[in-house]
Structure 1
Amino acid sequence: MPKYRLAKCPVCGGNLKVIKYQCEECGTEITGNFELEDFARLTDQQLIFLKTFIKTRGNLSELQKELGISYPTAKARLEEVAIALGYESEEVDNREKTLEILEKIEKGDITPEEAKEILKKYKK
């Protein structure tokens, strides 16, 4: 059974750093203070989800069947992976857009009816 990467300390849960690489062929060793790439920081569950997402070519219906999860769970896990990879939460982004629209209404830049139409476009 292959040994996979560790991203978290098994004792305290802190982040681990790679400090040594060794060539399997010639034994050359490189030491330093290396950062883990983004995908190495994902949990095993997140990696399984991501692999399944790619396997199903992003088709959430197929992904749901394969993993035996509901649509809301699939969406939540996708959001979790996106956040773990450093992308902003869609919820935060939508909240910010909503606040911007409300400010425009307050300033008189747009009418409530126009705001309603703009918000409908965000929901799609």
Structure 2
Amino acid sequence: MANKVNKLIGKCPVCQENMEITEIKCNDCDTKIRGRFFLDKFSRLDPDQHHFVEVFIRSRGNIKEVEREMGISYPTVRNKLDEVIEALGYQPEDSPDDNKAKKRKEILDSLENGEIQSQEAVEMLKNI
């Protein structure tokens, strides 16, 4: 029976901190090297995030294609992408569409709070 090889995990299942490898071995000649070997950033991704990245890359970043293949909505694709970005140690940036949505919400909130009149809100929304 062949030796079972477990999938490498990048996060500790107990505390969720990054794991480190302390020994590597050649399966052919049994040479072993001990030390501190750090995992790459992609090892930090959980299985669902790995799958998302594979689909995203295979789709060449085409969000419509990712939506279709995974059966999820545009906001869900964006949320999953943001989760991957954060898991890799980066901060997701707001897209121009996100900034427009924030400005629209601010204008509508101002209108609702009586801070601006409806005609003023219409003009402001046209200029976004």
Number of paired residues? Answer: 96
Instruction: Report the Cα offset of residue 12 of structure 1.
Output: 4.1
Counterpart residue number, 1:22: 25
Q: TM-score, normalised by structure 1?
A: 0.67
Counterpart residue number, 1:89: 92
Larger Rg: 2
**Matching of residue 60 in structure 1 with residue 63 in structure 2:** yes
CA displacement, residues 22-65 of structure 1 (integer Å, 9 cap, x when unaligned): 01111110111111110111111110000000111111111111
Alignment of 1:1-124 (within 5 A): 3-91=6-94
Gaps in structure 1 of 5+ consecutive residues: 96-115
Q: Matched residues, percent identical?
A: 41
Gaps in structure 2 of 5+ consecutive residues: 100-123
SS at match of 2:36: strand
Q: TM-score, normalised by structure 2?
A: 0.65
SS at match of 1:79: helix
CA displacement, residues 51-93 of structure 1 (integer Å, 9 cap, x when unaligned): 00011111111111111110000011111111211222214xx
- The 2-side partners of 1:13 and 1:80 are apart by 15
SS at match of 1:18: strand
